[in-house]
Amino acid sequence: MNRNPEHLPSVIRHWIGGELVDSADGRTFDVADPVSNTVYAQAAAGGTADIDRAVTAARTVFPAWSGLSNRERATVLNRIANAVEARHEQLAAFETHDTGLPITQAKGQARRAAENFRYFADVIVALGEEAFRQGGEQFSYVVRTPAGVAGLITPWNTPFMLESWKLAPALASGCTLVLKPAEWTPLSASLWPEIFAEAGVPAGVVNIVHGIGEEAGQALVDHPEVPLISFTGSTDTGRHIIRSSAQHLKTTSMELGGKSPAVVFADADLDAALDSVVFGVFSLNGERCTAGSRVLVERPVYEEFTRRLAERAASVRVGEPADPATEVGALVHPDHYERVLNYVEIGKKEARLVAGGSRPDHLSEGNYLQPTVFADVDRDARIFQEEIFGPVVAVSPFDTETEAIELANATQYGLAAYIWTSDLKRGHRIAHAVESGMLWINSHNVRDLRTPFGGVKSSGVGREGGAHSIDFYTESRIVHVALGDVHTPRFGAAS
């Protein structure tokens, strides 16, 4: 059976200075799909020479791009959004083919990507600069300037949407840039060149260098002419990039891993909480940084909630990513699949398996796992502490509000948290006590693009989203102007 989407390329090249090019040394790497795990394309494997060429291209056009008015750049961003939307079907088909995400969820990612460009077009047009007045003596105003050539490094889960999440504010702010997409999922990024060309983005403003993280990614981090790195990926890689960035004192933004709690109190709307918990951890194949992968349930409803969660997990439709009926598709790569299966084996020793735990019977090949639920998970268990990044959830009981907060805070991570209760005072109390960058009360991960996005503890450093993204991609300069006579101590003057 031919599962390949239309127009699937067999070669994926870099895009540097407006041209599709091979690596300087001609090297490539294999790209496979997660359903058959067979290689369908060769992608250019970038290294130092390719990054250097891309940074030079970005530097050359930086004065022209950063010199446009905010309105002019916003017009281009809106055209990018149109070009993304026009490729909506193809984009979703590519994403599904390359990542294993269910097609219905990949369609949402394409829409969200377009929305990111429209949103940051609006932000940059509406942006004002601050001014401060000290009585009649002094007036100070802020001038924001684009920071320069931005380095963007992105992961393989929802690759196109996450790329857009960085591309849009960087371009809106007036930066030119080099993007290094994740090596397991370079396919959807192959659509950016025609999207940018159609939208009239000048050659060299956006450059894309594919390649292995330790080679192309590292070369970008090490490049002296790239003053800022926006990174989304694992905590270990983030730590390494911060260390490497110290050499050139780069500004970094780190959006890292998570092990987010969903805290369910007995007084919650349990039907709504169940829908949300199931969706929160199994959507996007569980390969979601903000997945509610630890479910903490108040003791009086613990057994019943866990039983219902297990039933729902057992009936989640696992199948071909391209099938519109599929709810959980194939995990991105055999190495990642192995890693997730390893956690399942660890979990079988640490806790009580109540759903899933193996490949579904009807899918004999591909990286498939039936959504898996472990109950009675101890706080010291590895499946409670470590990010699994697959359709696996750990459920634990709690007796008091204090214990719920302790358990919620008992990992190194602090990205998202979800609180289910009909007592709103308690909801706010817990939201303020849980160490996390983003919290939802009686909701799943519904985002407002204006709000800060990011985590605390090992889940990240810095915030992006809304004005925070513009802050990251610009430097603020303060200009002080005397309005009257300034009193200056007269050192060295004759008295």
Q: Is 180 exposed, middle or buried (0-12, 13-18, 19+ CB in 10 A)?
A: buried
DSSP string, 14-74: EEETTEEE--TT--EEEEE-TTT--EEEEEE---HHHHHHHHHHHHHHHHHHHHS-HHHHH
315-319 own/partner pairs: CB under 8 Å, 24+ apart: 316/278, 316/282, 316/370, 316/371, 316/391, 318/360, 318/363, 318/368, 318/369, 318/370, 318/371, 319/362, 319/363
Per the listing, tokens 């409803």 go with 301
Smallest separation, CB 256 to ligand NAD (Å): 5
3-state SS of 123-152? HHHHCCCCEEEECCCEEEEEEEEECCEEEE
Residues of the chain by 3-state class (helix, strand, coil), percent to 5: 40, 20, 35
Calpha distance 367→333 (Å, rounded): 7
Whole-number Å distance between alpha carbons of 128 and 123: 10
Give min distance, CB of 338 to ligand NAD, in A: 13
Strand 413-414 relative to strand 456-457, pairing? antiparallel
Q: Which is nearer to ligand NAD, 74 or 179 (CB)?
A: 179
Rounded to a whole number of angstroms, the minimum distance from the CB of residue 245 to ligand NAD is 10
Q: Between 214 and 378, whose beta carbon lies closer to ligand NAD? A: 214
Whose Cβ is closer to ligand NAD: residue 74's or residue 221's? 221
Residue 153 or 318 having the CB closest to ligand NAD? 153
Q: Cβ of residue 300: shortest distance to ligand NAD, in angstroms?
A: 33
Residue 214 contacts by C-beta under 8 Å, 6 or more apart in sequence? Answer: none
Q: Which of 436, 197, 194, 389 shows the shortest CA–CA distance to 293?
A: 389
Binding site for ligand NAD (CB under 6 A): 153-157, 162, 180, 182-183, 213-214, 217-218, 221, 232-234, 237, 240-241, 255-258, 289, 387, 389, 415, 455, 460
For residue 465, the minimal CB distance to ligand NAD (Å) is 10
379 vs 383: CA distance, rounded Å: 9
Nearer to ligand NAD (CB atom), residue 5 or residue 257: 257
Residue 177: CB minimum distance to ligand NAD, A: 14
d(CA 117, CA 119): 5
State which amino acid sits at residue 66: S
Residue closer to ligand NAD, measured from CB, 165 or 398? 165
- Give the Cα separation of 149 and 177 in Å (integer): 5
Taking the complex as a whole, how short is the minimal distance between the CB of residue 106 and ligand NAD, in angstroms?
A: 15
Q: Smaller CB distance to ligand NAD: residue 144 or 288?
A: 288
Place of tokens 């070669």: 11
**C-alpha to C-alpha distance for 416 and 447, rounded to whole angstroms:** 12
289 catalytic, yes or no? yes
Q: Nearer to ligand NAD by C-beta: 34 or 174?
A: 34
Three-state secondary-structure class, residue 268: coil
Report in angstroms how near the CB of residue 159 gets to ligand NAD at its nearest.
9
Among candidate residues 183, 289, 327, 387, the one labeled active-site is: 289
Considering the candidates 163, 215, 255, 320, report the single residue annotated as catalytic.
255
Q: Rounded CA gap, 393 and 371, in Å?
A: 8
Q: How far is the CB of 244 from ligand NAD (least distance, A)?
A: 7
Nearer to ligand NAD, 73 or 240 (CB): 240
Q: What six digits make up the tokens of 265?
A: 């109190």
Kindly write down the DSSP assignment for every residue of 216-248, as one continuous string.
Answer: IIHHHHH-TT--EEEEES-HHHHHHHHHHHGGG
> Checking DSSP bridges between strand 149-153 and strand 228-232, what pairing results, if any?
parallel
The verdict on whether 255 is a catalytic residue reads yes
**Residue 351 in contact with residue 378, Cβ under 8 Å?**
yes
Provide the minimum distance between the beta carbon of 220 and ligand NAD in the complex, in angstroms, as a whole number.
7
Which residue, 288 or 312, is less far from ligand NAD as judged by CB? Answer: 288
Q: What tokens were used for 273? A: 């909480």
Which residues belong to the active site? 255, 289
